[in-house]
Amino acid sequence: MSNQPLFYIIIGILSIQFFTETILDYLNAKNYHKPVPEELNDVFDTEEYLKSQDYKKTNYRFALTTSTFSFTLTLLFLIFGGFGWVDQIARSYTDNNIVIALIFFGIIMIGSDIITTPFSYYSTFVIEEKFGFNKSTTKLFFMDKLKGWLMTTILGGIILTLIIWFFNWANSNFWIYTWAVIAVVSLLINLFYSKLIVPLFNKQTPLSDGTLKNKIESYAQKVGFELKNIFVIDGSKRSTKANAYFSGFGKEKRVTLYDTLINDLEEDEIVAVLAHEVGHYKRKHIIFNLISSILLTGFTLFILSLFINTPEVSLAIGVSKPSFHAALISFGILYSPISEFTGLIMNYISRKFEYQADDYAKNTFAAMPLITSLKKLSKNSLSNLTPHPAYVFMHYSHPPLIARIKNLKA
């Protein structure tokens, strides 16, 4: 256990975050029994509403259990010198600070994932299975885990190696070069996400010829949206929940529809959902989000550069020797209040963007198909129709269903 003042600040930050989230979850759960707004009375029938209530309560209790476990484990790990112990293991293999950092983060990340895997397994194969959402298999579940580890090891390892190399070379100016690398990686991922990442987990096939494709192409032509790539993703192999997303920009832009979305919605409703996604593109939301993310990353790295050479930052988590990798862990926790604040701002902007995209769909296609699609998607996912305003403010990147419908009807 460290005697550094920063150690107690870290404990305080983690405790405040845990209790704040617990209170927010409690307030949100208390709202489950509020009367459903009149505009949403047709989303659930009586039996479906009771099922949605049961689903929300089950997830609330499970989330409380997992968050309490995670918080307790993190505190014990800090108090009893867990980070120092892992640091000693990493140092026992080599004197190279890059290799030490890779071993250090590898042990923590893989160890953490192994410990939490039973919780994610229970969520998928007990809770989601009970309510009819899960379509995954045990084999697929663990294959996804292995692929995730492989991606994290390769991509994360390369980025971490470069960051520490930049630090060894440029010292406190490392943040400039790190920022440039992360910006390029972010740009490439945004451009080629559907080509490089998605195929590792899902199969994508071009949308078949037919009335749906004709309607989508007709709408795209009407609004001057060049669309060459419309794909269907086999989301049904993991869950019955539906989705659609837009990725890339320029010549690499494409729209991806979940097969569950195609099965659950009428053709005009699918076009309305697509119109919403086109609205994000036309209103430059994708570019804004990408630039904002890169700027926030640069800001965070600059703040990190101011503290990275301060030994107390490293020693705060209980290691015996100051190091870049220990400082990263400590800084990540110390910086989290600022991260929470910027997250609130980004969520607020995101909710505004959703209204703008809805308005674009309403003005260029129609409001009613989007309204009915949103209701169906909420019904099929057993979503919360009466979230607490404080929970919405803190966590929602999309406005609540009732707010979106009122806006579309305005």
Catalytic residues: 277, 358
- Angle of CA points 332, 172, 180, to nearest 5°: 75
What H or E segment, with its residue span, contains residue 231?
A: strand 230-233
Sign (positive/negative) of CA torsion 312, 314, 320, 324? Answer: negative
What does residue 197 show for φ and ψ, rounded to 5 degrees?
-95, -50
**How many Å apart are CA 186 and CA 80, to the nearest integer?**
37
Residues 6+ apart with CB under 8 A from 361: 272, 273, 275, 276, 278, 279, 367, 370
Residues 6+ apart with CB under 8 A from 276: 357, 358, 360, 361, 370
Beta bridge partners of 239: 134
**Do the strands 254-258 and 230-233 form a parallel or antiparallel pair, or are they unpaired?**
parallel
State the virtual CA torsion across 108, 111, 113, 115 in degrees, nearest 10: -130
Distances (CA, A) of 10 to 63, 73, 262, 322, 401: 23, 14, 47, 17, 37
How far is Cα 322 from Cα 315, in angstroms, rounded to an integer?
Answer: 6
Tokens 């926030």 found at: 296
Query: Phi and psi (nearest 5°) for 238?
Result: -115, -35
β partners of residue 231:
206, 256
Edge-to-edge, what's the strand order for the sheet holding 254-258?
Answer: 204-206, 230-233, 254-258, 244-247
